[in-house]
Structure 1
Amino acid sequence: MPDRTLITETYGSVLLAPEVPCLIVQWHTFANRQQFRSFMDRSLELYIQESRHTRPLGLLGDTRLVGAVTPDDQHWLRTDWNPRAYAAGIRHMSFVAPESIFGQISVQSYTNNTEAANAYAINIAHYNTLSEAKQWLHQALQEPAVD
């Protein structure tokens, strides 16, 4: 079953992969602060909508083409977006590894911040291909939920 596009912007897309099932947040290029936060918020709203009739549901970051994420935006993810994502039911996230060093630093910073959090627990895994990231997420979603 092919992935279905839900949002398309110049800097990214959000897709639904029903076979996993998950939403894929796919970055195409750098997004400025307003674009980045708006896109992440819109992605979370779509997750909430889809999770009303698809449970469990995962989130996959296709970050192959992601750019740098500023320290301010990393802080916002850690203290604002992640707690809302956890409250919405996100427990598992997989990432497709970034190609650029700036993207790699950004995704590793996000992972470190998320793993160090005490207020929520989101299981994160990194893979080199989209199919590997989907496969892991599919398996992780089959595990019993632990809150």
Structure 2
Amino acid sequence: MPDQVIFSEPYGAVLIDASVPCIISQWHTFANKQEFRTLLEAAMVYFDAHSSQAKPWGWIADSRHMGAIPAEVQQWLHAVFNQRIAKAGLREMSVVVPETIFGKMAVQQYKQNIEQKPTTYELQTRYYNSLESAKDGIRQYLGQR
């Protein structure tokens, strides 16, 4: 079954694959700070409505075509977004590795922020070379819970 699109803009989309189950925040190009937050907020609304402790969902950040992430957005990801998704029950963010240098730098910064071991939330990241391998990783992770 193909992924279902629940949000789509030229800079990115939010997809779901209920068979995994997972939500996919997919970047097509650079997104400014408002666009970045809008896409992730749309994904968060869906995640909150469908993931539960009894029936958890995974989350894939499909970053293959991601551009740079503004510093203000990196701070928001670390201080606000990661806390919200951790509170909603997500313990592992699956990241499809970017193909662009700007995307790689953005993901590296995100990784460093998470590795600071914040005391307010627990969230691990796992990196994959393809969307399918990320989905397989989530299936395995959720199967072990």
TM over 0.5: yes
CA drift at 1:131: 0.9
Aligned pairs for 1:32-111 within 5 A: 32-51=32-51, 55-111=55-111
Structure 2 counterpart of 1:126, one-letter code? Y
- Given the two structures, how large is their TM-score scaled by the length of structure 1? 0.91
Structure 1 counterpart of 2:139, one-letter code? H
CA drift at 1:53: 9.9
> 2:32–2:70: 8 Å Cα contact kept in structure 1?
no
Give % identity: 40
CA drift at 1:115: 2.5
Residue aligned with 1:65, SS: coil
Q: Which is worse superposed, 81-90 or 47-56? A: 47-56
- Structure-1 residue corresponding to 2:144: 143
Q: Which is worse superposed, 113-122 or 55-64? A: 113-122
Runs of 5+ unmatched residues, structure 2? none
How big is the alpha-carbon RMSD for the aligned residues of Structure 1 and Structure 2? 1.6
Q: In structure 2, what is the Cα distance between the partners aligned to 1:120 and 1:24?
A: 21
Runs of 5+ unmatched residues, structure 1? none
1:3-58 deviation per Cα after TM superposition (whole angstroms, max 9, x unaligned): 11111111111111112110000101111111111211121111111225981101
Task: Determine if the alignment matches structure 1 residue 127 to structure 2 residue 124.
Answer: no
1:50-84 deviation per Cα after TM superposition (whole angstroms, max 9, x unaligned): 22598110100110001100111111110011111
User: Which runs of at least 4 in structure 1 moved beyond 3 Å after TM superposition?
Assistant: none
> 2:14–2:42: 8 Å Cα contact kept in structure 1?
no
Residue aligned with 1:126, SS: strand
Q: Which is worse superposed, 92-101 or 43-52? A: 43-52
